[in-house]
Amino acid sequence: MYLIKREAVIKMLMQREIKTNIKTKKRIYLSSPHMSEEGYEKQYINEAFETNWIAPLGENVNEFENELAAKVGARAAAALSSGTAAIHMALKAAGVSEGDIVFCPTLTFSATANPIIYQNAIPVFIDSDYETWNMSPDALEEAFRKYPKVKAVLVVHLYGLSADMDRIVEICRKHDVQLIEDAAESLGTTYKGKYTGTIGDYGIYSFNGNKIITTSGGGMLVSNNDERIAKVKFWATQARDKARHYQHSELGYNYRMSNVVAGIGRGQLKVLDQRVEKKRYIFDFYKRELGFIDEIDFMPINDWNEPNCWLSCITLTGKVRPLDVIIRLEEENIESRPIWKPMHMQPFFEGYDYIGSNVSEKIFENGVCLPSDTKMTDDDLYRVVNIIKGLWK
């Protein structure tokens, strides 16, 4: 009895000590908002207040659309309330409706797949390959053999890594299917010199708080089809007809971006290249400091891919498991997280078909997203890698 009580007291004291250590140690985030040191964002926000243009439309919205489209090389853009809304509008613009089949990567966040359900369409989940961590062209071809009548292919550029776009574009053209790029995590990434999000028929970006640039929330749909982008803006503004009175001939959505939020985006866009440079620096730091450990592999960087390295991710083999890394970092007040759990393994989506050979499951089971915050100093980075190295001692 005495030993049991003694062990309980020791455990309680250790937990209290861990909690105290966490509170006293500097917090390192996975990927948090990073406003410009120059204060660009405040300039545009102040303009919105000074002109009293606090609305879902305005100069900041228009210019954010123009400036981002010019940056990535797209002809037109629609600023929307979220990246999820942008995917929803892309599917609608592509003509996806009830009963249509949409091919979607299984290794992604649920926001990629949810809008397929919004349109009452049917997702079919496609496996990844180890070469890109993204949609496997081989699995995609297999899916077309099983489902020859497909309305759209929705590809993701995971963690800022570009998918194998030449092969995927070729397959989509062969089957005359529209291609939508979920570039929510890959703004600033290029594939053979071209920005992700501009290679397919439609591309979407996210400006959520954890993205490489943020507006606190928001998204953008880009395309070279001016007419469809104009239609998206119409739908996203409650589909209000051109009439003196309020008249609606189509279903509309309240999806337009706020003029204040767009001001943040305009300021953030000015520092996008700096953020990409820092994200790549963080990835290279981890690879240099941890690459000697045989049981650690890094997410794949291909010759044709200039990734933004939004998150630096590793996979593990051997006795040290992802949860060991995550918990050990948590004990030091450092944020990390698992790789996305594949969609075909999610309770909500488990009834939908999946094409592949479980590559995505293996990446999920063995993967860790390391802290990749652009405000991290070298001291912060050394703190992270030293803790991880300690797991192998």
Domain range holding 288? 272-390
Confidence label for 376 from pLDDT (cuts 50, 70 and 90) = very high
Which among 215, 376, 151, 219 has a CA at the least distance from the CA of 283? Answer: 376
Determine the angle formed by the axes of helices 226-236 and 83-93, rounding to 10 degrees.
120
Q: Exposure string (b/e) for 192-228, b if CB count within 10 Å is 16 or more?
A: eeebbbbbbbbbbbbbbebbbbbbebbbbbbbebeeb
- For residue 24, the model assigns a pLDDT of 77
Domain end position, chosen among 216, 240, 269 = 269
- The answer to the question of residue 232 being in a domain is yes
Query: What pLDDT sits at residue 13?
Result: 44
Same domain flag for 137 and 193: yes
229 and 300: one domain? Answer: no
Cα angle 178, 308, 171 (rounded to 5 degrees) comes to: 25
8 Å CB contact between 136 and 166: no
Q: Which residue in the list 92, 211, 233, 279 is annotated as catalytic? A: 211
252 shares a domain with 294: no
Give pLDDT, residue 247.
Answer: 94
Residue 377 lies in a domain: yes
Cα distances from 95 to residues 226, 249, 289, in angstroms, run 16, 17, 48
Identify whether residues 79 and 154 lie together within a single domain. yes
Q: How far is CA 393 from the centre of its chain?
A: 34
Q: How confident is the model at residue 3 (pLDDT cuts 50, 70, 90)?
A: very low
Query: Are 365 and 240 within one domain?
Result: no
Mean per-residue pLDDT over the chain, rounded:
94
pLDDT above 60: residue 11: no
Return the CATH number at 377. Answer: 3.90.1150.10
Q: In the listed set 251, 269, 287, which residue is the last one of a domain according to the structure?
A: 269
Structure tokens at 161: 């890594």
What tens digit of pLDDT does each residue of 224-276 get?
Answer: 999 999 999 999 999 999 988 999 999 999 999 999 999 999 999 999 999 99
* Number of continuous H segments (helices) and E segments (strands) in the chain: 13, 15
What are the tens digits of pLDDT across the range 325-374?
999 999 999 999 999 999 999 999 999 999 999 999 999 999 999 999 99
Q: Are residues 122 and 82 in the same domain?
A: yes
Amino acid residing at 79: A
pLDDT value at position 56? 85
Q: What one-letter code names the amino acid at 152?
A: A
Residue 29 lies in a domain: no
C-beta separation of 298 from 287 below 8 A: yes
- 154 φ/ψ angles, rounded to the nearest 5 degrees: -110, 110
* Angle, CA of 57, 62 and 63, to the nearest 5°: 135
pLDDT level of residue 393 (50, 70, 90 thresholds) = confident
Res 148 pLDDT > 80:
yes
DSSP for 115-166?
A: HHHHTT-EEEEE-B-TTTSSB-HHHHHHHHHH----SEEEEE-GGGPPP-HH
Q: Give a yes or no: residue 280 inside a domain.
A: yes
Is the domain of 236 the same as that of 324? no
Same-domain status, 99 and 219: yes
The domain spanning residue 160 has which CATH number? 3.40.640.10
Tens digits of per-residue pLDDT, 98-144? 999 999 999 999 999 999 999 999 999 999 999 999 999 999 999 99
Has residue 28 been placed in a domain? no
For residue 23, the model assigns a pLDDT of 62
251 and 146 inside one domain: yes
Burial 239-264 (b: 16+ CB within 10 A, else e): eeeeeeeeeeeeeebebbbbbbbbbb
Tell me: do 177 and 285 sit in the same domain.
Answer: no
Q: How many domains does the chain have?
A: 2
Q: How far apart are CA 325 and CA 282, in angstroms?
A: 18
pLDDT tens digits for range 166-186: 999 999 999 999 999 999 999
- Verify that 278 and 263 share a domain, yes or no: no
Q: For residues 123 and 344, is the Cβ–Cβ distance under 8 A?
A: no
Tell me: do 246 and 300 sit in the same domain.
Answer: no
pTM for the full predicted model: 0.93
If 0-12 CB within 10 Å is exposed, 13-18 middle and 19+ buried, where does residue 238 land? middle
The SS3 call for residue 342 is: coil
Residue 97: CB atoms within 10 Å: 12
Q: How many CB atoms lie within 10 A of CB 17?
A: 10
Classify residue 24: in a domain, yes or no.
no
Q: How confident is the model at residue 10 (pLDDT cuts 50, 70, 90)?
A: very low
- Whether 3 maps to a domain, the answer reads no
Q: Please say whether the beta carbons of 138 and 130 come within 8 A.
A: no
pLDDT at 6 over 60: no
Task: Tell me, yes or no, whether 23 lies in a domain.
Answer: no
Hey, which residues does 76 pair with through a beta bridge? 223
Active site residue 146: no
Q: How does pLDDT run across 12-67, given as a tens digit for each residue?
A: 544 555 555 566 799 999 999 999 999 999 999 999 999 998 988 899 999 999 99
Sheet of strand 194-195, all strands in order from the earlier edge strand to the far edge:
194-195, 190-191, 305-306
Q: Which of 269, 296, 326 is the last residue of a domain?
A: 269
Buried b (16+ CB within 10 A) or exposed e, 24-36: eeeebbbbbbbbb
Share of the chain above pLDDT 70, in %: 94
